[in-house]
Every structure is written in C-alpha cells, then in structure tokens.
Chains A and B, each alone.
Chain A
Amino acid sequence: MGFPVEQQHVTDLLPAYSLGALDEPDATRVERHLAVCSSCQAELAQYRRVRDRIALAAPLVEPSPHLHRRLVERIAAEPQTPAGPVRQSRWQRFVEFSRRAAPVWTPLSLLLIAGLLIANLWLWRSVPPAPILAAVPLTGTAAAPQAYGFVTAAPDSATGTLVAQELPPLDPSHQYQLWLIRDGQRTSGGVFSVSPEGFGTLSIQAPQPLFSYDAFGITVEPAGGSPGPTGDRVLGGQL
C-alpha cells in the first residue's frame, strides 16, 4: 500500500512470467521487483523448473535417418579446436583482441616505444630513476613442452602479472594454479583459465614481495584451485 511498487511482492505474476507470457507493464514490474527480492527469485526458480517439465508432454517422434548424416556433415564443417574454457575475464578478452589486432598495433607501438625512449632519456637528466618492472621467464615441462610465459612485477612489489602462452586448454572442471615456492613451501598465487589458443593471464596478489620467492610453478588443478599442488606441473621458473 504505502510501499513503492518495486517492494510489493509479485507472487501472482510469477507463473505467467516464468512462461514468458506476461504482457507489459507487468513484465517490467516483475523484473524490477526480482532485482531486490530473494524470496520471489526463489519462487520464480521453482516455477521455471515446473515450466521446463512441460516439454515432456510432447510426443517422442523419430526423425528421418538422414538427419543424423546431415548433423555429421554440419559438425565436420565446424572448426576442430576444442571448445575449452572460454569464459574469459574482461582483461583476457582485451588481451585476445590485442593479439588479433597485432599486425596493426605492432608497428604503431614500436613507434610509440621509440618516442617514449627518447622522451625518457630526456627526462632522466632531471628526475631520479623510478623502479622498473622485472620479469622471470617460465618454461614448459614435459607435460606441456610448448608452453612458455613470464611473471612480471616491480622489484619489491607483492603484486604482479603472470602471462602464459601455448598451455593446453582444459575441460571446464579444471584450471591452472600458480604456486609461489620458498624453502620447499608452496603458497597459492591464484588460479586461471586459458583461451582455446592456450593463452592466459593472472593478476597476482602475493603475501610477500614476488621476487623474494625461490621459484614459481604452475599445475593443473580442479576448477577453483587446491590447497596444495595435486596435478601435473606444466610451467616453472627459478628466480
């Protein structure tokens, strides 16, 4: 009554909403309310499960045997790369896009770098030098001989970035995990997935400065990561 319209429950409208049968303005009203009401969200989830069962009332009918042959032909025309974990972060999508655009931006960035170097040389005369980024190369093990990458960070920083290339794509239930190794102790540096081309990046937030560790290692772990390494080591680098 005295409540704004978004706060009034929409229980009676949810059955039709779950079927996609609600007309405006009711549909918008339901959406606004759902955004703020978890009990109506739960109720809707139930109606959606009911809705999905209605499909089972249709008769089962055998299609023509030719249809399977057509399916095989369509599949054969599809690209053969595995449809691995393609859920990428915004950053990964940006990096992917940059890679594809490489023919255009490579010469441009070389020019830009040359320009910046000249500007830097000129600035060095007046300003004390600032810390520069260091990088530790990573090389593939027998489990992933093609793989390579690097970890980069400012010398005393606990935050950095991992870039890996040519890692085998994994099924959705697995991810790669970075291990920060010191005195035989392994601390997780985070988990990441790779694109179908095997390219992945990870933003690292370590408990200690990154270059105070002895080595970095990357293993295959169940999605979400493990408390300690359990799978094959695919990449590694000594400091």
Chain B
Amino acid sequence: MASSPDLARLADDVLMRLIAMRRQDALDTLYARYNRLVFGLALHMLHHDHAAAEEVTLDVFVSVWQHASTYRPDKAQVTTWLTTLARHRCIDRLRALRVRPEGYLADLAQLDQTAIQDAAAMDAEWLVQRERVQTALQDLPAEQRQVLFLAYYQGLSQSEMAEALGLPLGTVKTRIRLAMQKLRTLLESEI
C-alpha cells in the first residue's frame, strides 16, 4: 500500500482536509486505515457477497475523494461518515434486489461469536471505542439485539421485522425501543 509513514500519524479529520486538497497519498492512508471497517461492514450487510461488498467499498472511498470538502468534523467522526455511506449503499442494494432477511438471521448467531480481530494500524482510541460498543451489544438480550441488527444492518422497518420473525408488531416495537434505550445508557459516557 502506497501510504506515506508521515501521513499515517495524522488524525482522521486532518487526512480529510488533505484529501479535499486532492492529496491522493492521504486517501491511500485513510483507505489503509479503514478498508477493513468498510469492507467488513458491507460484507456483513450483503450476506457475504464479496463482489458486491467490494463495489460498495470502492464507491465509499470514491465518494470520500469527491466530497471530502463537505466533511464537517463537528458533525461526525470520519469513521461514522464512512460507515453511514457504506450502510446506505448496502441498504439500497438489498432493497433493489429485494433480498430476504432469512440468510442474515442465520448469520447473526455467528456474529455473536466475533472477537476483536487483529487491528494493527487502526487508531488505538477508536479500537477501544469499538470494544466498548461490542461489549454493550453483548449485554443486550439476544432478542433485542436481533431486531436492532435487522433494522441497522438490513434496513428493515418494524412491520417488515414482525413479518420476518413471525412476531406481533407490538413486540417488535417494544424490543427496538428497549434495545436502543439500554444501549444509550450503556454508552452514555461517550455519546
């Protein structure tokens, strides 16, 4: 990866400013730092379709190149910007192809086993943040985590979830609300 060692020490938002000035080495550095985050997210959302996840990853980083000047550090972290772009592109794809959530549901059990993986080169503070989120999600009851993930990773509405899970709509509504309220309490110190 052609990423200069000096740039590798720069904070994400500084890299974004350099990208806005058309420094391709800054984009390479951001890519080296977060390609696994974006690709991993897309792969998870798109039911392990590698080709589709690569397209999404490519689109996300091309968007960064095109729109870096519109990034506002006071509005969101760079990682949030990247994951939001990736999530919207994945949900668009899932909807366009009318992908059913059953395959994803089978996958969820596996995700619960996911441990933090090798993540050298990623921002240490960010990794701590990631670990906290994973711990908090593990603290939710499995049925609450399930609806939360269906909404976030598959873009399902509450009524679509009720149908996919064979549950009354009211149950889904309650689970979503409780899940988000609990997660908010668990992450209170950092949001």
Contact = CB atoms under 8 A, between A and B. Distances in A.
Interface in A55-104: 55-64, 67-68, 70-72, 74-75, 78, 80, 82-87
A21 B133 contact: no
Contacts, number: 167
13 contacts: A20-B155, A50-B183, A52-B83, A53-B129, A54-B148, A55-B83, A58-B45, A59-B40, A61-B39, A67-B35, A71-B58, A75-B62, A171-B17
Contacts of A54: 133, 137, 148-149, 152-153, 183
Contacts of B24: 72, 75
Nearest to A65: B1
A59 B54 contact: no
Q: Is the interface of B mostly helix, strand, loop or mixed?
A: helix
A61 B36 contact: yes
B54 A60 contact: no
Interface of B: 1, 17, 20-22, 24, 27-28, 31, 35-37, 39-41, 43-45, 50, 53-54, 57-58, 61-62, 65-70, 76, 79-80, 83-84, 86-87, 111, 114, 117, 119, 122, 129-130, 133-134, 137, 148-149, 151-153, 155-159, 161, 173, 176-177, 179-181, 183-184, 187, 191
Contacts of B184: 46-47, 50
A74 B133 contact: no
B21 A71 contact: no
Interface of A: 12, 15-16, 18-23, 46-47, 49-64, 67-68, 70-72, 74-75, 78, 80, 82-87, 171-173
A55 B87 contact: yes
Contacts of B80: 52, 55
A60 B117 contact: yes
A72 B31 CA distance: 11
Given A64-B54, A75-B24, A22 B31 contact: no
Given A21-B156, A82-B20, A63 B54 contact: yes
A56 B130 contact: yes
Contacts of A71: 27, 31, 58, 61-62
B108 to A, nearest CB: 10
Contact of B27 (A12, A18, A75): A75
A15 B177 contact: yes
Contacts of B67: 83
Contact of B1 (A46, A68, A86): A68
Given A51-B152, A54-B137, A23 B158 contact: yes
- Sorted from nearest, which 5 A-B pairs have the closest CB atoms? A15-B180, A55-B83, A61-B40, A60-B36, A63-B39
Nearest to B137: A57
Given A55-B87, A68-B1, A71-B31, A82 B181 contact: no
A47 B151 CA distance: 14
A82 B21 contact: yes
Contact of B62 (A60, A61, A74): A74
Interface centre among B69, B129, B148, B159 (most CB of A within 10 A): B69
Interface centre among A12, A21, A68, A70 (most CB of B within 10 A): A21
